[in-house]
Protein backbone atom coordinates (compact mmCIF):
# COMPACT_ATOMS: atom_id res chain seq x y z
CA UNK A 1 0.00 0.00 0.00
CA UNK A 2 2.87 2.35 0.87
CA UNK A 3 4.57 1.71 -2.50
CA UNK A 4 1.30 2.45 -4.33
CA UNK A 5 0.77 5.70 -2.42
CA UNK A 6 4.30 6.86 -3.17
CA UNK A 7 3.93 5.95 -6.83
CA UNK A 8 0.76 8.04 -7.05
CA UNK A 9 2.52 10.93 -5.30
CA UNK A 10 5.41 10.63 -7.76
CA UNK A 11 3.04 10.75 -10.73
CA UNK A 12 1.37 13.86 -9.34
CA UNK A 13 4.65 15.63 -8.59
CA UNK A 14 6.11 14.91 -12.01
CA UNK A 15 2.87 15.76 -13.76
CA UNK A 16 3.05 19.27 -12.36
CA UNK A 17 6.14 19.91 -14.47
CA UNK A 18 4.85 19.04 -17.93
CA UNK A 19 6.75 19.42 -21.18
CA UNK A 20 5.00 22.63 -22.19
CA UNK A 21 7.80 25.04 -21.27
CA UNK A 22 11.55 25.25 -21.19
CA UNK A 23 13.77 26.37 -18.37
CA UNK A 24 17.46 25.60 -18.21
CA UNK A 25 18.88 25.95 -14.70
CA UNK A 26 22.32 26.62 -16.17
CA UNK A 27 21.31 29.65 -18.21
CA UNK A 28 17.78 30.78 -17.33
CA UNK A 29 14.67 30.32 -19.42
CA UNK A 30 14.84 30.75 -23.19
CA UNK A 31 12.39 33.66 -23.02
CA UNK A 32 14.46 35.44 -20.39
CA UNK A 33 17.63 35.06 -22.39
CA UNK A 34 15.85 36.14 -25.56
CA UNK A 35 14.71 39.35 -23.89
CA UNK A 36 18.18 40.07 -22.54
CA UNK A 37 19.93 39.13 -25.77
CA UNK A 38 18.13 41.54 -28.10
CA UNK A 39 19.13 45.04 -29.08
CA UNK A 40 22.59 44.94 -27.51
CA UNK A 41 25.45 46.28 -29.60
CA UNK A 42 28.10 46.20 -26.88
CA UNK A 43 30.66 43.67 -28.07
CA UNK A 44 31.65 42.98 -24.48
CA UNK A 45 28.10 41.97 -23.60
CA UNK A 46 27.87 38.17 -23.66
CA UNK A 47 24.06 38.02 -23.39
CA UNK A 48 23.53 37.39 -27.12
CA UNK A 49 26.07 34.57 -26.98
CA UNK A 50 24.40 33.10 -23.90
CA UNK A 51 21.06 33.29 -25.68
CA UNK A 52 22.41 31.42 -28.72
CA UNK A 53 23.95 28.76 -26.49
CA UNK A 54 20.69 28.38 -24.58
CA UNK A 55 18.75 28.05 -27.84
CA UNK A 56 21.16 25.42 -29.11
CA UNK A 57 21.04 23.51 -25.84
CA UNK A 58 17.24 23.61 -25.91
CA UNK A 59 17.12 22.23 -29.45
CA UNK A 60 19.69 19.53 -28.65
CA UNK A 61 17.86 18.44 -25.52
CA UNK A 62 14.18 18.86 -26.33
CA UNK A 63 13.44 19.31 -30.06
CA UNK A 64 12.00 16.18 -31.69
CA UNK A 65 11.85 17.78 -35.17
CA UNK A 66 8.45 16.10 -35.52
CA UNK A 67 9.81 12.55 -35.37
CA UNK A 68 6.98 11.54 -33.04
CA UNK A 69 5.02 10.96 -36.25
CA UNK A 70 7.37 8.06 -36.96
CA UNK A 71 8.17 6.62 -33.52
CA UNK A 72 4.66 7.05 -32.21
CA UNK A 73 2.40 7.46 -35.23
CA UNK A 74 3.96 4.72 -37.36
CA UNK A 75 5.85 2.29 -35.13
CA UNK A 76 3.55 2.94 -32.11
CA UNK A 77 6.48 2.60 -29.73
CA UNK A 78 4.63 4.53 -27.03
CA UNK A 79 2.04 1.73 -26.79
CA UNK A 80 4.73 -0.78 -25.82
CA UNK A 81 6.07 1.65 -23.21
CA UNK A 82 2.75 2.44 -21.53
CA UNK A 83 1.50 -1.16 -21.50
CA UNK A 84 -2.04 -2.51 -21.55
CA UNK A 85 -2.80 -1.09 -18.10
CA UNK A 86 -2.48 2.42 -19.54
CA UNK A 87 -4.06 1.89 -22.95
CA UNK A 88 -1.09 0.33 -24.75
CA UNK A 89 -0.02 -3.24 -25.37
CA UNK A 90 1.92 -5.81 -23.40
CA UNK A 91 3.37 -5.41 -19.91
CA UNK A 92 4.79 -1.94 -20.50
CA UNK A 93 8.27 -0.62 -19.74
CA UNK A 94 9.11 0.00 -16.10
CA UNK A 95 11.80 2.44 -14.95
CA UNK A 96 13.92 -0.57 -14.00
CA UNK A 97 13.71 -1.91 -17.56
CA UNK A 98 14.26 1.53 -19.08
CA UNK A 99 17.48 1.99 -17.08
CA UNK A 100 18.58 -1.53 -18.02
CA UNK A 101 18.48 -0.70 -21.75
CA UNK A 102 20.50 2.47 -21.20
CA UNK A 103 17.95 5.25 -20.91
CA UNK A 104 19.06 8.02 -18.54
CA UNK A 105 17.12 10.21 -16.10
CA UNK A 106 17.91 13.90 -15.55
CA UNK A 107 17.99 14.46 -11.78
CA UNK A 108 17.52 18.22 -12.30
CA UNK A 109 14.07 17.53 -13.77
CA UNK A 110 12.91 15.60 -10.68
CA UNK A 111 11.04 17.26 -7.79
CA UNK A 112 12.77 17.12 -4.41
CA UNK A 113 10.07 14.82 -3.05
CA UNK A 114 10.82 12.32 -5.80
CA UNK A 115 14.57 12.50 -5.16
CA UNK A 116 14.00 11.90 -1.45
CA UNK A 117 11.76 8.93 -2.22
CA UNK A 118 14.37 7.48 -4.59
CA UNK A 119 17.09 7.84 -1.96
CA UNK A 120 14.85 6.07 0.54
CA UNK A 121 14.08 3.27 -1.92
CA UNK A 122 10.37 4.04 -1.77
CA UNK A 123 9.63 4.51 -5.49
CA UNK A 124 8.11 1.57 -7.33
CA UNK A 125 10.59 1.10 -10.18
CA UNK A 126 8.52 -1.75 -11.62
CA UNK A 127 5.51 0.45 -12.46
CA UNK A 128 5.22 1.57 -16.13
CA UNK A 129 3.08 4.45 -14.87
CA UNK A 130 6.19 5.98 -13.31
CA UNK A 131 7.94 5.72 -16.70
CA UNK A 132 5.05 7.58 -18.32
CA UNK A 133 5.30 10.35 -15.72
CA UNK A 134 9.03 10.69 -16.31
CA UNK A 135 8.57 10.83 -20.09
CA UNK A 136 5.87 13.49 -20.01
CA UNK A 137 7.99 15.64 -17.68
CA UNK A 138 11.13 15.74 -19.85
CA UNK A 139 13.01 13.81 -17.17
CA UNK A 140 14.20 11.05 -19.53
CA UNK A 141 17.25 12.26 -21.43
CA UNK A 142 16.53 12.50 -25.16
CA UNK A 143 12.98 11.13 -25.05
CA UNK A 144 9.70 13.01 -24.72
CA UNK A 145 6.32 11.41 -24.11
CA UNK A 146 3.19 13.22 -25.23
CA UNK A 147 0.39 12.72 -22.73
CA UNK A 148 -3.09 11.69 -23.83
CA UNK A 149 -4.58 13.45 -20.80
CA UNK A 150 -5.78 10.23 -19.19
CA UNK A 151 -2.55 8.88 -17.72
CA UNK A 152 -1.27 7.31 -20.92
CA UNK A 153 0.69 8.39 -23.99
CA UNK A 154 -0.54 9.49 -27.41
CA UNK A 155 2.94 9.50 -28.98
CA UNK A 156 6.65 9.62 -28.26
CA UNK A 157 9.54 11.50 -29.84
CA UNK A 158 13.31 11.48 -29.49
CA UNK A 159 15.97 14.18 -29.51
CA UNK A 160 19.69 14.42 -30.32
CA UNK A 161 20.41 13.97 -26.62
CA UNK A 162 19.15 10.38 -26.62
CA UNK A 163 22.36 9.09 -28.20
CA UNK A 164 24.72 12.03 -27.63
CA UNK A 165 24.18 12.75 -23.92
CA UNK A 166 24.55 10.79 -20.73
CA UNK A 167 24.43 11.55 -16.98
CA UNK A 168 27.01 11.59 -14.19
CA UNK A 169 25.19 8.95 -12.06
CA UNK A 170 25.27 11.36 -9.11
CA UNK A 171 22.00 10.04 -7.63
CA UNK A 172 22.07 6.43 -8.78
CA UNK A 173 23.28 4.44 -11.81
CA UNK A 174 21.55 6.03 -14.81
CA UNK A 175 20.19 8.96 -12.78
CA UNK A 176 22.17 12.19 -12.49
CA UNK A 177 23.02 15.55 -14.01
CA UNK A 178 23.11 15.78 -17.80
CA UNK A 179 26.43 15.52 -19.64
CA UNK A 180 25.61 16.92 -23.07
CA UNK A 181 27.89 15.79 -25.86
CA UNK A 182 29.23 12.58 -24.37
CA UNK A 183 27.88 9.46 -26.11
CA UNK A 184 25.50 7.13 -24.32
CA UNK A 185 27.44 3.89 -24.71
CA UNK A 186 24.93 2.07 -22.46
CA UNK A 187 22.03 2.78 -24.81
CA UNK A 188 20.65 -0.28 -26.57
CA UNK A 189 18.83 1.41 -29.46
CA UNK A 190 18.05 -1.89 -31.18
CA UNK A 191 16.39 -3.35 -28.10
CA UNK A 192 14.28 -0.21 -27.64
CA UNK A 193 13.15 -0.01 -31.28
CA UNK A 194 12.50 -3.76 -31.22
CA UNK A 195 9.73 -3.18 -28.67
CA UNK A 196 7.64 -1.38 -31.31
CA UNK A 197 4.29 -3.11 -31.91
CA UNK A 198 4.37 -2.23 -35.62
CA UNK A 199 7.67 -2.95 -37.35
CA UNK A 200 5.94 -3.87 -40.60
CA UNK A 201 6.65 -0.46 -42.24
CA UNK A 202 10.37 -1.02 -41.62
CA UNK A 203 10.15 -4.55 -43.01
CA UNK A 204 8.32 -3.29 -46.10
CA UNK A 205 10.91 -0.57 -46.65
CA UNK A 206 13.78 -3.05 -46.50
CA UNK A 207 11.92 -5.81 -48.34
CA UNK A 208 12.36 -8.35 -45.54
CA UNK A 209 10.24 -10.00 -42.87
CA UNK A 210 9.55 -8.55 -39.42
CA UNK A 211 11.54 -11.43 -37.92
CA UNK A 212 14.56 -10.34 -39.96
CA UNK A 213 14.15 -6.77 -38.75
CA UNK A 214 14.09 -8.02 -35.17
CA UNK A 215 17.26 -10.04 -35.82
CA UNK A 216 19.04 -6.98 -37.20
CA UNK A 217 17.97 -4.78 -34.29
CA UNK A 218 19.14 -7.40 -31.80
CA UNK A 219 22.55 -7.52 -33.49
CA UNK A 220 23.41 -3.89 -32.66
CA UNK A 221 23.97 -4.19 -28.93
CA UNK A 222 24.60 -1.35 -26.43
CA UNK A 223 26.28 1.82 -27.65
CA UNK A 224 25.78 1.19 -31.38
CA UNK A 225 23.37 2.37 -34.05
CA UNK A 226 23.04 1.93 -37.80
CA UNK A 227 21.86 5.31 -39.07
CA UNK A 228 22.07 4.30 -42.74
CA UNK A 229 20.08 1.07 -42.58
CA UNK A 230 16.99 2.73 -44.06
CA UNK A 231 19.07 4.23 -46.86
CA UNK A 232 21.05 1.26 -48.15
CA UNK A 233 19.43 -1.78 -46.51
CA UNK A 234 22.84 -3.15 -45.48
CA UNK A 235 22.49 -4.59 -42.00
CA UNK A 236 25.76 -6.50 -41.87
CA UNK A 237 29.34 -6.10 -43.01
CA UNK A 238 30.52 -7.95 -46.14
CA UNK A 239 31.20 -11.12 -44.11
CA UNK A 240 27.45 -11.39 -43.56
CA UNK A 241 27.90 -11.95 -39.83
CA UNK A 242 29.22 -8.76 -38.24
CA UNK A 243 26.71 -6.00 -37.61
CA UNK A 244 27.13 -2.84 -39.70
CA UNK A 245 26.11 -0.66 -36.74
CA UNK A 246 28.70 1.92 -35.72
CA UNK A 247 29.73 3.06 -32.26
CA UNK A 248 27.67 6.07 -31.17
CA UNK A 249 30.10 9.02 -31.46
CA UNK A 250 30.63 11.89 -29.09
CA UNK A 251 29.13 15.19 -30.18
CA UNK A 252 32.43 16.82 -29.26
CA UNK A 253 35.90 15.89 -28.09
CA UNK A 254 37.07 14.36 -31.38
CA UNK A 255 39.36 17.20 -32.45
CA UNK A 256 42.39 15.71 -34.14
CA UNK A 257 40.74 12.32 -34.67
CA UNK A 258 40.77 11.57 -38.39
CA UNK A 259 37.79 10.04 -40.22
CA UNK A 260 35.49 10.86 -37.35
CA UNK A 261 32.44 11.59 -39.48
CA UNK A 262 31.23 7.96 -39.23
CA UNK A 263 30.13 7.71 -42.85
CA UNK A 264 29.76 4.24 -44.30
CA UNK A 265 32.46 4.90 -46.93
CA UNK A 266 34.88 5.90 -44.19
CA UNK A 267 36.45 3.96 -41.35
CA UNK A 268 36.35 5.54 -37.87
CA UNK A 269 39.75 5.11 -36.26
CA UNK A 270 38.21 3.23 -33.36
CA UNK A 271 34.97 2.28 -35.09
CA UNK A 272 33.44 -1.05 -35.99
CA UNK A 273 32.92 -0.75 -39.75
CA UNK A 274 35.40 -2.04 -42.28
CA UNK A 275 34.34 -0.53 -45.55
CA UNK A 276 36.31 1.24 -48.26
CA UNK A 277 38.26 4.02 -46.61
CA UNK A 278 38.39 7.48 -48.12
CA UNK A 279 40.64 10.34 -47.16
CA UNK A 280 38.85 12.66 -44.77
CA UNK A 281 38.23 16.15 -46.13
CA UNK A 282 37.02 19.23 -44.25
CA UNK A 283 33.29 19.72 -44.51
CA UNK A 284 31.11 22.58 -43.28
CA UNK A 285 30.22 22.12 -39.64
CA UNK A 286 32.74 19.34 -39.02
CA UNK A 287 35.40 19.65 -36.38
CA UNK A 288 38.79 20.63 -37.78
CA UNK A 289 41.59 20.98 -35.25
CA UNK A 290 44.83 22.90 -35.51
CA UNK A 291 46.31 20.76 -32.75
CA UNK A 292 45.62 17.22 -31.48
CA UNK A 293 44.51 18.52 -28.08
CA UNK A 294 40.98 17.40 -27.30
CA UNK A 295 38.55 16.73 -24.49
CA UNK A 296 38.16 13.12 -23.30
CA UNK A 297 35.59 11.05 -25.15
CA UNK A 298 34.64 9.20 -21.97
CA UNK A 299 32.34 11.10 -19.57
CA UNK A 300 34.10 12.63 -16.57
CA UNK A 301 33.52 10.59 -13.46
CA UNK A 302 33.41 7.30 -15.41
CA UNK A 303 35.84 4.49 -14.74
CA UNK A 304 37.42 4.99 -18.17
CA UNK A 305 37.96 8.68 -17.57
CA UNK A 306 39.44 8.03 -14.14
CA UNK A 307 38.15 11.16 -12.44
CA UNK A 308 35.23 13.00 -10.95
CA UNK A 309 32.99 15.44 -12.75
CA UNK A 310 34.12 19.04 -12.38
CA UNK A 311 30.97 20.95 -11.70
CA UNK A 312 32.33 24.17 -13.20
CA UNK A 313 32.66 22.45 -16.58
CA UNK A 314 28.95 21.67 -16.90
CA UNK A 315 27.34 23.66 -19.66
CA UNK A 316 30.65 24.81 -21.13
CA UNK A 317 30.05 22.64 -24.18
CA UNK A 318 31.29 24.01 -27.45
CA UNK A 319 33.05 26.99 -25.92
CA UNK A 320 35.35 24.78 -23.83
CA UNK A 321 36.18 22.70 -26.87
CA UNK A 322 36.89 25.74 -28.99
CA UNK A 323 39.39 26.97 -26.43
CA UNK A 324 41.17 23.70 -25.74
CA UNK A 325 41.08 22.19 -29.21
CA UNK A 326 41.50 25.49 -31.10
CA UNK A 327 38.67 24.55 -33.44
CA UNK A 328 37.75 26.58 -36.49
CA UNK A 329 34.09 25.73 -36.02
CA UNK A 330 31.93 24.67 -33.11
CA UNK A 331 30.11 21.32 -33.13
CA UNK A 332 26.56 21.14 -34.41
CA UNK A 333 24.05 18.33 -34.87
CA UNK A 334 24.81 18.48 -38.61
CA UNK A 335 28.41 17.58 -37.83
CA UNK A 336 27.29 14.03 -37.17
CA UNK A 337 24.13 13.64 -39.19
Give the model confidence (pLDDT) of 153-211 as tens digits. Answer: 999 999 999 999 999 999 999 999 999 999 999 999 999 999 999 999 999 988 999 99
Query: Looking at the DSSP assignment, which residues form a beta bridge with residue 4?
Result: none
**What number of other Cβ atoms are within 10 A of residue 246's Cβ?**
21
User: Rounded CA gap, 83 and 49, in Å?
Assistant: 44
Three-state secondary-structure class, residue 292: coil
Q: Are 109 and 71 in contact (CB under 8 A)?
A: no
Report CA 180 to chain centroid distance, whole Å.
9
Dihedral sign of CA atoms 281, 285, 288, 290 in order: positive
Q: What is the pLDDT of residue 45?
A: 74
Give the pLDDT band of residue 255 (cuts 50, 70, 90).
low
Q: What confidence score (pLDDT) does residue 299 get? A: 60
63-to-55, 119, 138, 184, 239 alpha-carbon distances in Å: 10, 31, 11, 18, 38
Residue with the larger pLDDT of the pair 255 and 31: 255
Which tens digits make up the pLDDT trace of 281-329?
Answer: 333 333 333 333 344 445 655 555 544 333 333 343 433 333 333 333 3
Ranking 46-55, 122-131, 173-182, 292-301 by mean pLDDT, the lowest is 292-301
Mean pLDDT computed over 119-123: 93
For the segment 252-260, the average pLDDT, to the nearest whole number, is 58
Amino acid sequence: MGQTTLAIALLFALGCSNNTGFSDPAGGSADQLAASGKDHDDRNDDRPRRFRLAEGRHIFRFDTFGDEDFWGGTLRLHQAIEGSAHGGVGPGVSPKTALAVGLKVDVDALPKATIDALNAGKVDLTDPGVTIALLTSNAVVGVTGFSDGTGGLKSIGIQCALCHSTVDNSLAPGIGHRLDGWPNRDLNVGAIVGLSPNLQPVADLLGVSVDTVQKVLASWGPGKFDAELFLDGKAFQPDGKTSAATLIPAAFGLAGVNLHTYRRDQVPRRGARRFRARESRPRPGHLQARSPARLPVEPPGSAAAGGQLRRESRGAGAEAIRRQGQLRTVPRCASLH
